[in-house]
C-alpha cells in the first residue's frame, strides 16, 4: 500500500476566483506511483474549497452571480461585529470583513473532493476539472493532495 | 490491502431525477471483499452528483422545488450565450441549455460521497440511501465506486 | 496498512446547533496509529452532517440565518403532508416536521468530510475545526471516523 502527499502553494486573485489545478493534481497522482486508489484533494482554508466541475468562464461567471445573490456581501455579519466578537480575531479580516466568504464556503460543502484513481489516472469525466475556489480576497493559499492505494 | 472498482451505467430521466443506487453499491462492497475501509461513490459528470440522504418522494419533491427556486432555469446564463462562448462547446447543450444544471451541481457540493465500510457493510444510518442525482436532461450516465481497505 | 474506526455518541441541542468535535477526532487519529492517510468523518443521519470550517459563534449565527432564509421552516413540505405520505413513516417526525432539515442537509452537501492525515495529525488549517451540525430538533446522534493509511 502507498500513501503519497503533495502540497502546492498559490497566490489567488480576489473576488470569487477559480484556479484550474487539474494538471498539478494529475502530476502528483503519477508521482505517487498509485495505480488504483483514491485521491483526496483538500483546502486547509476556511474560505476556500476544492471542487470538481467544468472550468468554463461563462459557467464560472454564472456561478459567481448565483453565489453573490444567495450570500450578499453587503449585509450585516455577526462575525464582523467588533462589538460582539471576542474569538479567533485576525486583524486583517476585521478590516476587510469576510463573513460572506465563510458562509459561501459552508454552503458550497466540504473543504475537498475525493476522486477515484484507476490505471494511475484520476477518474475525471470528459468535462470535469479539479478547481481551487477562492471565496475571499487575494491571498496566499495552499492545497494538499493525499493519494492512497496500491 | 484491497482496492476494488466497480462502474455502472444508467439512463436517467430528465428534470431533477434521483435514482436509488444503494443496492448496487452494497453489492459492489460485498464483491470487493473489503471488511474495513472507505467506499468512494463518484459521478464523473459535471451536471450529476452522488449524495446520501433519504429516498422519499415527498422530500425529493420538496428539494426539487427548493433547488429550482434558488437556481431558476429561466434566467440568463453566460454559459449559453452563443455570442460569448468559445470554450468546451457541446452542440447538443447549446440547443437545450444546462447552465442551471452546472450551477445546481456546484451548489450541491462534491461529485461524490465517501462512506465508511465496517464488517463488510456500508455504515449507512437507518434512513440513509445512496442516490444518483441527475440535474440535467435525460442522458446516459455512469457512476463509479472505489472501495479501499483491508 | 491500517484501518481504524471510532464511533462517538452525542445528544444535540435543537435548532441549528453545532458541536466542535475536533479534539475527539484528533484523539481517534492518534489512537489509530495511522501516520499518513485519510480520515473520513461521517454522520449516519439524514438531517445532520459533518463539516470543516471555523468554529466561531458570530459566523455560526450568520450561517444559521442564511440557511433559514434559503430554506424556510414555515413553508409547505410534501415530506410532511399526511395525506400524501406513505413511505418511511417515523411518528415523531410527523408531529414535529423536519422537511426543512432534510432540504438543508442536501443543500449543505455530503454526510461527511475526508481530511488528509500527515505525521499522525489531521491536516487542518489554522482556523479549521471539525464540526457536527444538527439541522433537526434535539436528538441522540452519533458520528463515525474511519482512518485509513500506513
- A46–C150 CB contact, under 8 Å: no
CA distance C15 to B130: 26
Q: Name every chain C residue with its beta carbon within 8 A of the beta carbon of B53.
A: 46, 102, 105-106, 111
**Binary contact (B37, C3; C-beta < 8 A):** yes
Q: What is the pLDDT of residue C80?
A: 63
Neighbours of chain A (3+ CB pairs under 8 A): B, C
Mean predicted confidence (pLDDT) in B15-25 = 95
In whole angstroms, give the CA distance from residue A148 to residue C40. 13
Q: Is the pLDDT of residue C64 over 80?
A: yes
**Nearest Cα residue to C38 out of B128, A32, B52, B116:** B116
pLDDT tops 80 at residue A99? yes
| Per-residue pLDDT at A83 | 62
Q: Is C146 exposed, middle or buried (0-12, 13-18, 19+ CB in 10 A)?
A: buried
B102/A54 CB distance under 8 A: yes
Q: Which three cell numbers stand for residue A45?
A: 482554508
| pLDDT single digits (tens) C137-150 | 999 999 999 999 99
Contact C35, C150 (CB under 8 A): yes
| pLDDT of B18 over the 90 cut | yes
pLDDT-derived band of residue A131, with 50, 70 and 90 as boundaries? very high
Shortest Cα distance, chain C CAs vs residue A30, angstroms: 17
| Residue A109 pLDDT > 90 | yes
Q: Are residues B56 and C79, on separate chains, in Cβ contact within 8 Å?
A: yes
Residue C108: helix, strand or coil by DSSP? helix
Q: Do A146 and C107 touch (CB under 8 A)?
A: no
The C-alpha atoms of residue B77 and residue B98 are separated, in whole angstroms, by: 9
ipTM here: 0.91
Q: Choose the weakest-confidence range: A60-69, B24-33, B85-94.
A: B85-94
Best mutation target, C123, C126, C148, to test chain A (most A CBs within 10 A): C123
Contact A44, A132 (CB under 8 A): no
Largest distance between two CA atoms of chain A: 56
Q: What is the CA radius of gyration of chain A?
A: 17
Please check the confidence at residue C25 and state whether its pLDDT lies above 60.
yes
Q: Is C91 a residue whose pLDDT tops 80?
A: no
Residues of chain B positioned with their CB less than 8 A from the CB of C70: 66, 70
Residue B33 has pLDDT above 90, yes or no: yes
Q: What is the pLDDT of residue C87?
A: 72
Say if residue C94's pLDDT is above 60.
no
Contact B146, B4 (CB under 8 A): yes
Predicted local confidence at residue C146, as pLDDT: 98
3-state secondary structure of C77: coil
Amino acid at each position: 500500500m502507498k500513501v503519497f502527499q503533495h502540497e502546492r502553494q498559490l497566490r489567488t486573485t480576489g473576488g470569487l476566483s477559480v484556479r484550474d489545478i487539474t494538471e498539478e493534481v494529475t502530476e502528483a497522482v503519477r508521482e505517487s506511483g498509485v495505480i488504483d486508489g483514491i485521491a483526496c484533494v483538500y483546502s486547509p482554508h476556511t474560505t476556500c474549497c476544492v471542487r470538481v466541475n467544468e472550468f468554463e468562464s461563462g459557467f464560472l461567471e454564472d456561478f459567481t452571480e448565483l453565489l453573490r445573490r444567495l450570500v450578499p456581501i453587503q449585509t450585516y455579519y455577526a462575525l464582523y461585529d467588533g462589538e460582539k466578537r471576542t474569538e479567533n480575531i485576525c486583524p486583517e479580516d476585521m478590516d476587510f470583513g469576510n463573513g460572506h466568504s465563510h458562509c459561501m464556503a459552508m454552503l458550497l460543502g466540504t473543504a475537498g473532493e475525493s476522486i477515484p484513481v484507476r490505471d494511475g489516472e484520476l477518474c475525471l469525466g470528459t468535462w470535469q476539472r479539479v478547481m481551487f475556489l477562492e471565496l475571499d480576497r487575494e491571498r496566499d493559499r495552499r492545497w494538499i493532495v493525499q493519494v492512497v492505494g496500491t
